[in-house]
């Protein structure tokens, strides 16, 4: 613990981080295998197990234990806030920092909207091969998703937060604010903070077998697990501090961008955005929308991309996926009905576009909501 770092506590079970039958966790976040709330020590009195999970805040360590009544909460962004996140993500400042951070640390880094569903981005730079292979399995994807959802909830309360997943890898979320509200998170991790061993993987193997993972998959997981990069805790802590500083700079930049957006979105683009929101269930073509707002196709395309930060086609696709996520949580609606209500021309198109932006199919997303 770095001198001066405060320690905050949350009840892990009340927060949904541990079920009543959850395994105990060592202070370093690894599974000990005992289902009781206390178990034999592995290495000295300081390693005694309990129903607490260790979380790092910058250099400090925050124990998720008893003693706090703070509630974890989800965030819903307005259309303007989503547009603001897109503008930040596409800004020269962010992309320069992202490239530099990835190059210097070797870690992945991306900016994720606060209400964006978690998924691994295929082919992302510095992505862990172990995480990618694990997410190809249904149970592995669920486990990774749950850890990432919980960490952003905790980060929404206490700021920059690092949590260790069930496999022992660190994952970090750092909140970005706009006018006192969290609109996005900087996310990194997918590394160990102490070198993995064959014994560590053998403990995971039992869980993988329960998931029905084949021997071929198991061998590839073992190989990628043991090759996963290790970043020592103090060095990793420095990286998190850098992200926290950058998050503050992004938050300051957000106010300036917001004023620019409010004052710079041309009337034809505003009209087009309103048209898209109102007619999302219908066919929305670039040329027809350009004609509607009184511009040529080429002129409208350039104007829209400059003002919104993405192409008209991409904006429509993202808007449809956002609407689909909401409707898929209604059990009474069939997947085909959701696709139609969101303006997709076919189920195959719906599946393809939805998976592109969320990392999973509509059916898989609905199943997770039900689970």
What per-residue confidence (pLDDT) applies to 349? Answer: 94
The answer to whether the beta carbons of residues 243 and 172 sit under 8 Å apart is: yes
Q: What is the mean pLDDT of each run of 10 residues along the chain (371 residues)?
A: 30 30 32 32 32 31 36 67 87 89 93 85 84 89 88 87 92 88 93 94 92 92 95 93 89 74 76 88 93 93 86 90 83 91 94 88 81 59
Counting every residue written for the chain, the total comes to 371
Three-class SS string for 205-237? HHHHHHCCCCHHHHHHHHHHHHHCCECCHHHHH
pTM: 0.59
- As its CATH architecture, domain 265-370 has Orthogonal Bundle (1.10)
Tokens of 243: 């992200």
Give the Cα separation of 181 and 184 in Å (integer). Answer: 9
Question: What is each CA distance from 73 to 182, 290, 363, in whole angstroms?
Answer: 11, 40, 26
Dist. CA 276–CA 284, nearest whole Å: 7
Q: Which tokens go with 194?
A: 């102490």
CB 64 within 8 A of CB 12: yes
Q: Where are the domains of the chain?
A: 1-71, 79-259, 265-370
- The helix (run of H) or strand (run of E) holding residue 261 is helix 233-264
Q: Which two tokens stand for residue 268?
A: 């034809």
Helical H segments across 90-214, by residue range: 92-105, 129-134, 138-158, 198-210
The whole-number pLDDT of residue 50 equals 29
pLDDT of residue 368: 73
Domain 79-259, second-level architecture: 2-Layer Sandwich (3.30)
- In the prediction, which pLDDT does 66 show? 33
Cα–Cα distance list, 8 to 3, 29, 71, 72, 267 (Å): 15, 17, 13, 14, 48
Q: Could you report how far apart the first and last alpha carbons of the chain are, in Å?
A: 37
66: DSSP letter? S
Sign of CA dihedral 203, 209, 210, 211: positive
* pLDDT of amino acid 235: 94
């Amino acid at each position: 613990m770095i001198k001066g770092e405060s320690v905050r506590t949350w009840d892990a079970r009340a927060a949904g981080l541990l079920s009543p039958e959850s395994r105990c966790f060592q202070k370093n976040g690894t599974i000990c295998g005992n289902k009781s709330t206390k178990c034999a020590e592995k290495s000295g009195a300081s390693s005694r197990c309990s129903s607490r999970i260790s979380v790092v805040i910058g250099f400090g360590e925050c124990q998720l234990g008893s003693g706090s009544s703070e509630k974890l909460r989800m965030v819903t962004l307005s259309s303007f806030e989503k547009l603001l996140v897109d503008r930040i993500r596409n800004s020269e400042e962010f992309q320069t920092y992202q490239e530099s951070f990835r190059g210097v640390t070797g870690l992945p880094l991306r900016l994720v909207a606060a209400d964006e569903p978690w998924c691994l981005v295929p082919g992302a730079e510095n992505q862990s091969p172990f995480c990618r292979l694990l997410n190809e399995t249904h149970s592995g994807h669920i486990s990774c998703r749950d850890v990432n959802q919980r960490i952003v909830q905790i980060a929404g309360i206490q700021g920059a937060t690092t949590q260790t997943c069930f496999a022992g890898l660190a994952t970090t979320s750092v909140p970005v604010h706009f006018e006192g509200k969290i609109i996005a998170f900087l996310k990194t991790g997918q590394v160990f903070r102490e070198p993995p061993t064959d014994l560590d993987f053998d403990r995971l193997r039992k869980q993988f077998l329960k998931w029905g993972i084949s021997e071929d998959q198991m061998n590839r997981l073992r190989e990628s697990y043991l090759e996963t990069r290790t970043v020592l805790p103090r060095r990793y802590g420095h990286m998190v501090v850098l992200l926290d500083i950058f998050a503050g700079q992004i938050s300051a930049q957000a106010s300036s961008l917001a004023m620019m957006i409010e004052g710079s979105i041309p009337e034809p683009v505003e009209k087009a955005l309103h048209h898209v929101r109102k007619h999302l269930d219908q066919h929305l073509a670039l040329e027809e929308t350009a004609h509607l707002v009184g511009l040529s196709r080429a002129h409208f395309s350039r104007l829209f991309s400059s003002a919104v930060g993405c192409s008209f086609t991409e904006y429509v696709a993202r808007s449809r996926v956002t609407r689909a996520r909401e409707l898929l949580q209604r059990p009474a609606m069939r997947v085909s009905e959701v696709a139609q209500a969101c303006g997709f021309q076919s189920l195959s198109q719906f599946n393809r576009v939805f998976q592109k932006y969320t990392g999973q199919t509509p059916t898989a997303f609905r199943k997770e909501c039900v689970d």
